[in-house]
A = this chain, B = another copy of it.
Amino acid sequence: MSVLVLGHKNPDTDSIVSAISYAHVLNQRGIQATAVAQGTPAPETEFVLNKFNLKAPEVVTSVASKELYLVDYSDLAQAPADLNDAKILGIVDHHKLGDVTTDTPLECWIQPYGCSNTIIKMVADYYNVTIPADIAGAMLCAILSDTVLFKSPTCTKFDKKAAEELAKIANVSDLEALGMEMFKAKSNLNASPRDLIFRDFKDFDMGGKKIGIGQLELISLSMVTPELKESLKKELADVKAEGRHSAVLVLTDIMKEGSELLVVSDEEDVIINALGTQKSDNMWMPGVMSRKKQVVPPLQSAFKA
C-alpha cells in the first residue's frame, strides 16, 4: 500500500508542493508514496501548478489506518481529526514543534528555515535524489512564496541556496519576475470574505485558547477597499463566534513590507499590545511579514498558561 504525504489544513503553496516534492523523494528512496492534500489549491498554488504542469493532489480528509508523512506542520489542530488512528512515519517542517506525538520512532527533518521545500531539497541531496525540472520549479515557487521573495525575516541562507539550485534545475533565470507573477496571482481578491480569510488560515492552541490566524499577502494593501475591509471584519466576527477565543487576519503588503492587523477577540487589547501596535482603524505593523516568526511567537508568549 502506498503511504500518504499530507500537508496542513487550508493548504498554501508550500504545503501542497511539499506533498508533491516529498512524495517524489520518498518514491526515489524506494518508499511508495502518494501526495495528498486537505483542500484544493488557492489561486497562488493554482498558478504554480499550472506554470509547471503539475496536478493538484487528491483531497483527503480522513487518514484512519493509513501510513503517513506530514509536511509543513506538526500540530494536531492542522491535521485530520482521525490522525491518532494513523501511523506517522515522518515529518518535514519549519515551524515551531507542535503537539503531534507518535508510538514508534520516526524520521523528522525539522529546521528553522524559511520553507519546507528548502528542507526537502536537503533530504533529496542527503539521499542523492534527482529532482525533475517541473517539481524543482514548483519547489522554487514555494520558497519564493514563503520567504516573500527572500524579504521575510524567516528567510535563511539555506533558502537562498536551495532556490538558486532549484532555479537552475527548472531553467528559471529571473526569480524576481517569477515571484511577482506568482504574487500577482495570489493577490486575487475575487472571492467571498470567508474564502479570503480561510485561504491561508491556521488555528493555534495558545494556553488552552483557540486562536485562528489568517494571512493575505498582497502586492498592495490599496487593493483592499474600505468596503472589503468592512466585510472582512464582519466575517471575522463570525469566524470568532465559531468556538474561537480570537480570529485574526493579517493583511500583508509585500512591497511596503509590513502588515495591517484585523482582530476580533475576547481579549483584543492583549493581542494588539502583543503585536506592538495601537488600537485604531488601521493597525499597521511595520516590518511584519511572517505569521510564523512575527505574529505567532508574541501571541504564544502573551497567552502562555
A232 to chain B, nearest CB (A): 28
Quick one: copies of this chain in the complex?
2
Residues of B within 8 Å of A296, CB to CB, are 103
Residues of B within 8 Å of A112, CB to CB, are 104-107
Give Cα distance in the complex from A112 to B293, angstroms.
29
Binary contact track A27-51/B, C-beta < 8 Å → 1, others 0? 0000000000000000000000000
B104 touches A297 (CB 8 A): yes
Residues of B within 8 Å of A88, CB to CB, are 97
Neighbour of A297 across the interface among B99, B103, B293, CB < 8 A: B103
B292 touches A105 (CB 8 A): yes
Neighbour of A107 across the interface among B107, B111, B293, B304, CB < 8 A: B111
Binary contact track A91-121/B, C-beta < 8 Å → 1, others 0? 1001111111111111111111000000000
In chain A between 65 and 112, which residues have their CB closer than 8 angstroms to a CB of chain B?
Answer: 88, 91, 94-112
A278 an interface residue at 8 Å Cβ cutoff? no
The 9 A-B residue pairs with the shortest CB-CB distance, nearest first, are A108-B110, A105-B112, A103-B300, A97-B102, A96-B102, A108-B108, A104-B297, A97-B101, A103-B297
Report A's interface with B, CB cutoff 8 A. 88, 91, 94-112, 126, 154, 292-293, 296-297, 300-301, 304
